[in-house]
Each structure stands twice: as structure tokens, then as C-alpha cells.
Chain A
């Protein structure tokens, strides 16, 4: 018998990385299936899309995963001269960046763009750092950033054509403060939002499924559960403060948590083990910081609808510092007091600032009419004015013949395809013929917000004109 030497321990836990990744995949399956139903089968049943388009969600997911797997196969084969490139790619769990990316981009993203983004993300987010386990940034988010910077119109506008405005875009339309009727009723109720009957990227739509996945992944010990927990908690607390300073109910905080990619991002992206802190206190701080940055992005940065991805990426940068503090806290629990005080003050002050400034701007904003020019020419009065739009302001020229509207002309807008749609559906003509009385004029489906804003503006202008 040959006596062999080996370093211990001689028993190992049955858990292994492949098992963890398999669990992660299992947690994603319900989400993928639900979004296949919601963005595919449901629309097909409504006869809104063709049979091929029905499979669009699944194709996106498949293409994303396969692309990112193949990139690492090629990398291993050419650069590492690995004799088993497929095994290499498998053990660096390379399908996940592409899979995640396909779940956070809009459903109708062109496939070529998705492939480009996955390539960019995997190469510059993972391979240049030395592969699995060595990257600083979440590769899927690096790919997302690429899309965001180079093709931001894809990420924002094309969303609505199929599934209607996302709740977050709607929120933004109301400058983040509004009533339940404005913010939630377009989606029936807050419960529909929670269940996921709303527009959004594949992974984002069902908050409930994200929570179920979170519980599953926490029980199977796959993810660092403290990050999503404190992330959502921070966003909840901050939006509650904002809601209270503006006299809005608690549904507002739920709206924030269940809309956009927050839950999906918190559960799946923010917990990517490689790019997040190791120590528990580091994880708690990371969660809180992500929450603060998300709220800042949503409320204070104009032109940015979603802050989740950016907040996760920016916290990825801080992992070293957070872990440094985390190690000190492990040895001496008292060290945690200062970071906790700083983070609490940040949370409170930022949310109070946002809340109060929104409350102030709302008071000044009693009339939404923004008239630039009024020309009186006998019986004819010509108004040039701005109306609120979905993507930006719409410049209008409206001519009154005595008290009746004789023409409505759209001078400038950023609404892309919505204005042609509105004109094609005859909304403008309707408004003229009804003389601005909007009770008989229906909104244009597929351009709900643009038509709604236009109607409101013209209605108010008629009142203003009659009053003057």
C-alpha cells in the first residue's frame, strides 16, 4: 500500500460553486417564464405581435447566454491555449453576464445590439481583469453601461411601443410627485405593479417573483442577502420620507421599490459575489450606499430614468474600502458607529432635501400653462406655448378665432414616434372640432402620456383664453 500525504481538512462541505450557480439559474427560470408569458404569449393572444415575435423574450435570453459563453470559449482557446476551452468557460460560469444583461435590456432591443453589449461587457468587464473571480465590475452592468452610453435611446424610448410606459417613466413624467390616480391607476392598482403586470425589461417586470427568488437564494445560501435587504430598506425609508414631506401615502414607497429594475437589480446584480464586499458589515454598507445612489439618480439627475445599474456599478468601485472597514468592525464592533452615523445622516438629509424641494416646486406650479407669446390680430389670437410631453416639452402654436380653436400646430417636440401617431389617430383634429372640450376626446393608446398632456394643456388654454 502506498501511503499518501495530503493537507487537510479531509472532509469538505458538499456545497460547491457549480451547485450555487445552478441554484441561481433555477431562481431565474420563473422570472424568464413569466416575462415570456407577459411579453410574448399575452401579446400574441391580444394579436399585437406575430408568432415569431412571441418568442422574442426567449430568443433574447438564449442569444445573450450563448454569446457570453462563446466569448470565453474563444478567449480560452486563442489566448490561454486551453485544451478544454468549453470546460474553462463552464467553470468560469460565463453564461451569467449575458443572461443577466438580456434580462435588463428592453424586450425589443435589436439582437445585434444585445450581442455587442454582451461582448463589450464580457471583454471589458471580465476578461481584461483576468477572468472569473478577478473582475471589479459586474460584467453584465458594464455591458448595460455600454448600451446606456452609446444607444440610450434604445433603453428609454423603444420600451413603450409594445408594453406601454413603465411606471418609472410615468413617475418621471410627473416629475416624481403625483397622486395615486396619476401614478398607479394607469396600471390598475399597486398590487398589479407588485405582481408584475406592467411594462419593463424581461427581468424587471415581476417584483413578486424577484422576492420569491430572493427567499430561495437566501435559504440555499447562494447570495449575500444583506445587500438586497438593506438596499430595498434604504430606498423604502428614503422614499417614505419624500412621500411624507409631500403628503403622499405609503403606496408611493412601494411604487418606487416595485417599479424599474430595482428588485431584480438588488437580488441578482447587487449580490454578484465577485464584485461585492466579503464582510457582513461591508455588505450592509454597500446596500445602504446603493439605495442612496439610486434615489439620487432617480430624483436629482435629469434625463436618467433608472438609477439601479449605475448605483451598483459605483458601489462596485468602493468594495475595497467597504471591506477594509468591514474587517475592522469584525475585530472591534465599536468601529461601526461612525460609518453608521454618516450613512444615516446621508440618508435622512438627502431624502429630506429631495422631499422639501419637490414640495416647494409643486406649490409654485399651480398653472401648468407656459405661454411664450400671445399675438392679437383682430378676432384672431395666436398663442405660442409649451406643453408638457412624455420625453420633454412640446412647443405648440394654437390659433383662436374669437373663442373657437381654429388650428393646432406642433412646432417642436422630442416625442419621436408618438406625435405622428397622435396626428394619425386624429387627436389634433378632434381637439379642434371639439373646441378643446376634452370630455369627448379619447386618448391615443400607445401614446397615452403625450396625448394626455396635450389634452390637458389645450383644455387649460381654452379656459385661460375665455377668461382673458
Chain B
């Protein structure tokens, strides 16, 4: 696999953190990223506190959903999410009083939690993977035989600097909670992975990391997708696994998730806020702390946007993100970036010249061009294993003929699943 450096990936960012914690309304989706529906536990016109549990899931999957503001429940309404799904959300009108109701009785010193208490705490705080996938975090800590914790602060997609900003502001807390997590779960090794080009992060960590001999910094090369779990584990430990890293006793957490764990353990504060990066040609690049459930429209109104004929709203990074069709899209826990742009990335697609660059760069070792050629040939398609695709978009990125190979592979996946012929 060739390691690819994306264009613009050293773009200068402004790492000062803005806060936008006063949305008029929040829309809390009654769903987790893996599409389990939640039960609504509040009624319309009921007053809710900030941090109050307003939704929950069935017994086997017992994450909680919290209100991120205090105010009155207005209605339950379908809203668009980042993946263009139309999902029921609890609409809460803000009274701007920030009346807080955290569960205060269980607060302990960080390292005094037992493993059961720890898992219960992060589950009740509704913490899910904040790097993008949105996998419930407590699931990762359930097994007993964890030996390594990898904190993913790579942010390999260009434009995104939310994690970067978080570390610059909260480095000490992050290291403190990592140490506690290791003690609670009997983990003896921890690597914090950052890109080697960011000397400011290294400087920040170096200030505090000396007190924690078990936490090591790991510098990944500046390539895409360096932050993909599989690549990260291969780079750090030279280990490959089949389905999940826990097979080898490894837990990988995004640094934002780690910080959410910190707030949860320290103050019993549920996961109701996060930092997102707003960038693109129509806005000044900025990192901004927002409430979960804020719409993009309110954020845009807050930071201001240049006028343009066309507007493209990309939720996520420029590689894996998707455009959304409305500004009323809700920010969920796993959204880390919004790009507002009027640039047209349209390129004329020409015939494939079979240069093989897509198959050289594919991190899943696929041959996108062969998948494209055999899309109607199901027998051949099985051997090419398109279902291994992680949709990182490198093939579409690298293609000199500007062919949207990722779309073709997604289509091939559907063909294999029998959804499309």
C-alpha cells in the first residue's frame, strides 16, 4: 500500500476555541448511529434540565440520551441527520438558564472507580465514539483481557482540527483520565497517536506526559488514512486483526471520546457537548464548542457566512464526509466537522486508463478499477471483495481520470447484497 499525502493537509488552522452554547432549539435524535431506535422518556411541554435523561434504549443496549440544554420539550419531529436519514428528534426550546441536573451521588476520585462502576458510568453518560463511527464506548471496555489502549488523535482528514484544539486546551485532563482508565481496566500500555507534523501537540504533551511513564506518544506519518484503526494498530504495534481490535486486547478511542469520559467520571456530566471544526471557502475556519442537537443553521448564523450563489454543506471531512440537502441538519455526537463551500469540485470524468493508482493506494488492498469493470459480473465480484471497502475515498481522490470509484464500489456492495442488479 502506498501512503498518500492529501493536498491541503497542512492547512493553517486557528486553534482558538469559540463557544456557541446558546442555541434557541436543540433536536435530540432518538437513535444511535447504528440505527437502534430509542424510547422517548419525556412528554411534550415537560420541562427538562440540562443533562436530564430524556431517552433510553432496551435492556441489552442501555445507552442513555440526555438533554443538552434546559427548557421545554416542544414536540417530537423528524429531522435530517448527517447521513441524510430522516429521524425522530425531541425538540427542546432553550430557556437559557442552564439548569443542570447531573447524577451527583456517584462522583468519586477518578482512580477510585471499579471496572463495573466505570462501565456503568460511561454507559449512562451516553458516550459513543466521537471520531465518526459512533460505536458505544462502554462496549469496548466490557472484555476483561484488555492490554493496550490507543488514543487516536491523528485526524488524518484535511480541514479538521477539532481534536487538535481539544488537546491544546485540555491536555492535562486527557492524560489524567487516560491514566485512570488504564488503572481501572488493568491496561499496562497506552499510546497516544498524533501526526508527526504537529510540533505544537508534541510540545503540549511533553509538558505533562513525564508524570505518566506508561503513556507513550506515537507519531504517525502524515498520510491518509493514518487514523484508520487498522492502520494505526499496524503502524504502532505491527499487529493485524480480523474484525475488531479487541481480538488482540486492544481498545482504540478517539481523543474526544477520552475527554467525554473525563467529564463523565469527574463531574458525571453526560456527553452533551463537543468541538466541531467549521471550515470551507465561505467561512473563516474555526473550532467551536457546540451542544449536541444544534442545527447547522444556528451555527452558521452564529459565525456568519459569506454570500454565494451556491452552497455546499459537507458534514464530515472532505474525504469521507457527505453533503446534506438542508441547513436544518442536526449535529450528533459523532460529527466532527462541517465544511461550507461554494467551490465546485466537478471534474470531467474520462475513460479509465488503467494506471492502477487506485489499487496501489487502497488501504483495504482492493482493486477498485477491477471492481468497476466487473460490476455486472457477480461471480467475479465476490473474489474482488468489495465489502472490505471502508469508503475512505482515496481511490476517487487519486484517480487521474477523475472517476468516482468509491460510488462504484458502494454500488458493487449493493449488488453483492442483492439490493441492486
Contacts and interface: CB of A to CB of B under 8 A. Distances in A.
A328 B385 CA distance: 10
A8 B396 contact: yes
A280 B6 CA distance: 22
B396 A274 contact: no
Contacts of A91: 348, 350
Contacts of A19: 400
Contacts of A330: 359, 365-367
A134 interface: yes
Interface in A273-288: 273-280, 283
Interface string B332-373: 000000010100011110111111110110000111011000
B396 A5 contact: no
A466 B370 CA distance: 73
Interface residues of A, number: 43
Interface in B300-335: 307-314, 318-327
Interface in B1-45: 6-8
Contacts of B318: 8-11
B320 A278 contact: no
B406 interface: yes
Interface of B is mostly: loop
A10 B339 contact: yes
B158 interface: yes
A15 B4 CA distance: 13
B228 interface: no
A10 B345 contact: yes
A366 interface: no
A9 B385 contact: no
A6 B312 contact: yes
Interface string B199-219: 000000000000000000000
A12 B397 CA distance: 4
A17 B353 contact: yes
A273 B407 CA distance: 23
A2 B309 contact: yes
A242 B369 CA distance: 40
Interface in B388-404: 393, 396-402, 404
A188 B137 CA distance: 76
A2 B319 contact: no
B319 A8 contact: yes
Contact of A8 (B309, B314, B348): B314
16 contacts: A3-B313, A7-B322, A7-B406, A8-B322, A9-B393, A10-B341, A12-B399, A15-B400, A16-B401, A17-B350, A91-B348, A132-B350, A274-B354, A278-B356, A278-B369, A279-B356
- Which 5 A-B residue pairs are closest in the complex by CB-CB distance? A133-B351, A9-B393, A278-B356, A1-B311, A10-B318
Given A92-B351, A278-B367, A279-B356, 15 more contacts: A1-B311, A2-B311, A3-B326, A5-B323, A6-B323, A8-B393, A9-B397, A10-B312, A16-B402, A17-B353, A20-B353, A91-B350, A133-B354, A278-B354, A280-B360
